[in-house]
């Protein structure tokens, strides 16, 4: 079976369990992953989703898997499930005194997340970028030590996989603003305006899960014709985003649970 991004993050954490950045990366991959949540029964006519609850000595847990094949291997017989982003599952379980088991019994990346871990993850995902207005007067190469780049770049690249096709490049550079304030900027080239808030939120999460104890990064959006883009292309660290991959889409006549916008899933 092909390794998933969560598998790779989990293996890296297991190889260096004292590394906080690698531990945070596991949370980040889980939040971004599509997880297949085992249900008590098929969603009813109101589209209510009731996860199957497992009682253990460590408390109550629901189970999810990062591939359908792993869920099938665990259940061995057909079982009701729903596919949801990991962040949605965590947000709905937070405060319910229920933990989350991931890939239990079917993969080396098996993990038990207690309720307090889900509450922490949900809080971490609330980090949102602040909109500010500042006029840059100069751009430079990024003045970041190698140790800091070693934390930032993997966090960025993991998010870039989610942003495939939304921009051609991301340019990491130093910036000086009117008034003398200095900092660092991550400029995305060619991102359409509707996608920009989502990109900014993804980068805020990347910073939060990077392992840096404190950090600030300005995110901006440029076109190829912007004079600032030419300067940054010369001086900044150029990061390439993956291109969008066209997937073959099969039209279905049955609406899957949780996919009808008029009836959002209710996780209980």
CATH of 5-126, one of 3.40.50.2300, 3.40.50.720, 1.10.287.110, 3.40.1350.90: 3.40.1350.90
- Domain(s) labelled CATH 3.30.300 in the chain stretch across 136-240
CA 32 to chain centre: 3
- pLDDT digits 0-9 by tens, 188-217: 999 999 999 999 999 999 998 998 866 788
pTM summary value: 0.81
Residue 112 burial class via C-beta count within 10 angstroms: exposed 0-12, middle 13-18, buried 19 and up: middle
| 47 close to 263: Cβ distance less than 8 angstroms | yes
> Quick one: tokens of 170?
């991301």
Q: What's residue 247's pLDDT? A: 57
Q: What's residue 189's pLDDT? A: 96
Residues above pLDDT 70, as percent of the chain? 90
CATH of 136-240, one of 1.10.1060, 3.30.300, 3.30.420, 3.30.43: 3.30.300
């Amino acid at each position: 079976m092909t390794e998933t991004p969560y598998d790779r993050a989990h293996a890296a954490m297991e190889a260096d369990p004292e590394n906080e950045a690698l531990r945070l990366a596991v949370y980040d991959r889980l939040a971004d992953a599509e997880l297949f949540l085992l249900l008590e029964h098929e969603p009813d006519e109101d589209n209510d989703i009731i996860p199957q609850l497992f009682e253990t000595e460590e408390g109550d847990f629901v189970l999810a898997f990062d591939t359908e094949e792993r869920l099938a291997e665990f259940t061995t017989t057909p079982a009701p499930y729903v596919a949801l982003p990991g962040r949605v599952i965590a947000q709905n379980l937070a405060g319910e005194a229920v933990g989350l088991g991931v890939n239990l019994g079917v993969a080396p990346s098996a993990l038990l997340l207690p309720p307090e871990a889900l509450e922490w993850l949900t809080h971490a995902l609330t980090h949102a970028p602040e909109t500010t207005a500042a006029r840059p007067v100069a751009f430079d190469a990024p003045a970041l030590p190698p140790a800091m780049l070693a934390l930032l770049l993997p966090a960025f690249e993991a998010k870039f996989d989610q942003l495939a096709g939304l921009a051609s490049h991301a340019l990491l550079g130093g910036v000086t603003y009117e008034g003398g304030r200095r900092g660092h900027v991550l400029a995305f080239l060619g991102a359409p305006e509707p996608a920009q808030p989502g990109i900014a939120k993804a980068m805020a999460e990347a910073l939060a899960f990077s392992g840096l104890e404190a950090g600030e990064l300005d995110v901006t959006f440029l076109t190829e014709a912007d004079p600032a883009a030419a300067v940054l292309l010369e001086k900044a660290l150029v990061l390439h985003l993956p291109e969008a991959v066209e997937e073959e889409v099969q039209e279905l006549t049955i609406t899957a649970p949780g996919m009808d916008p008029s009836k959002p899933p209710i996780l209980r």
